Structure 1
Amino acid sequence: MSLMQAKLLAIAIPAGLLGGAYISQYGFGLFPCEMCWWQRYPHFAALGAGLFSLFLKPAQVWTALAGLAIISSGLIGGFHAGVEYGWWDGITGCATLGSAVDVMNPAAAPIVRCDVAPWSLFGISLAGWNFLFSCAGGITILGLSVKRVSKERAL
């Protein structure tokens, strides 16, 4: 894989995971809890860094920053999954309004708990899937970025 492939992964992974989160939210009514939002923020940062890597130098640094942000989201997702599975307690009250639009009518907004997985596939919650995809993708991006820098230094 080349640096260009790492750059594309740095854009595709957060875009795909954020897209899936918003489809789940608006298409299937799976409103995010507070910790779900925490997982989205690093993906927004990663998407920005990935886009910067296409236009700003040094591209390896922007790509690596995107990889680190993606891993950060994955680690938050891993913590959140542990809360959902009852492995440990969360660090928040874990009740939030469904969306910014619902703030205008709090009675209509769903209360979303962080310690209850609203959906799972093969026993893995959305937070768990974020952990798996984000950590694997971020590590791949970092590996490609470091590999590229090592090759350039060898030349």
Structure 2
Amino acid sequence: MSKLLTAIAAAGSAALLLGALGFQYIGDMPPCKMCYWQRYPHVAAVGIGLLALMIPGAILPYLGALALLVTAGIGIFHAGVEQGIWEGPTTCTSQSIEGLSADELLNQILSAPVVRCDDIPWEMFGLSMAGWNAVVSLGLAAIWIAAARSATR
């Protein structure tokens, strides 16, 4: 049962990565910096899943769960940035222009990234891609934890 759950959890991360790449290359929605941050733990989870299918035990599934909790946390943070609940990194969100000289404003505009982290390019049922990543990743983390518990029995 542990191997089946591990395969499902790793396949879930692979599906999310493929979906993100589909939005990027087919949907012409380039990712922002925080979108990339959310992908790295999924890549790790796929690799951990492949290892966990070959190496028995609970450690690797718990690491898979940790990877998914990390990407869920980043997704929650990113969704909060998109909704204006808190500020994101200054390298990918809009900044205040109060008190800036014309030269400073021009430099800010010219050095601004192409894709901003506080824009929502797509949403469904009121959740952005970052929000959906958080929700699905939390579900996948639960599957990883179930796989780890199954491995200890």
What's the TM-score once normalised by structure 1's chain length? 0.80
Q: Give the Cα–Cα distance (whole angstroms) in 2 for the partners of residues 76 and 120 of structure 1.
A: 17
RMSD: 1.5
Q: How does 1:119-130 map to 2 (within 5 A)?
A: 119-130=122-133
Task: Tell me the CA shift for residue 14 of structure 1.
Answer: 0.9
> Is 1:118 aligned to residue 129 of structure 2?
no
> Is 1:142 aligned to residue 145 of structure 2?
yes
The corresponding residue for 1:40 is: 39
Which has more radius of gyration?
A: 2
Matched residue count: 134
8 A contact 1:68–1:142 mirrored in 2: no
Task: Tell me the CA shift for residue 118 of structure 1.
Answer: 0.5
What's the TM-score once normalised by structure 2's chain length? 0.81
Structure 1: state its 5+ residue gaps: 96-109
Query: Measured at CA, do residues 140 and 7 of structure 1 come closer, stay the same or move farther in structure 2, by a change above 3 Å?
Result: closer
Structure 2: state its 5+ residue gaps: 94-112
Q: Give the Cα–Cα distance (whole angstroms) in 2 for the partners of residues 39 and 92 of structure 1.
A: 18
Q: Which of 1 and 2 has higher RCO (CA within 8 Å, sep 6+)?
A: 2
The corresponding residue for 1:87 is: 85
The corresponding residue for 2:2 is: 3
The corresponding residue for 1:76 is: 74
Identity of aligned residues (%): 42
Q: Give the Cα–Cα distance (whole angstroms) in 2 for the partners of residues 21 and 75 of structure 1.
A: 17
Task: Tell me the CA shift for residue 146 of structure 1.
Answer: 2.2
Encode CA deviations 1:70-96: one digit per residue, 9 max, x unaligned: 12111101100000011110024216x
> Is 1:61 aligned to residue 59 of structure 2?
yes
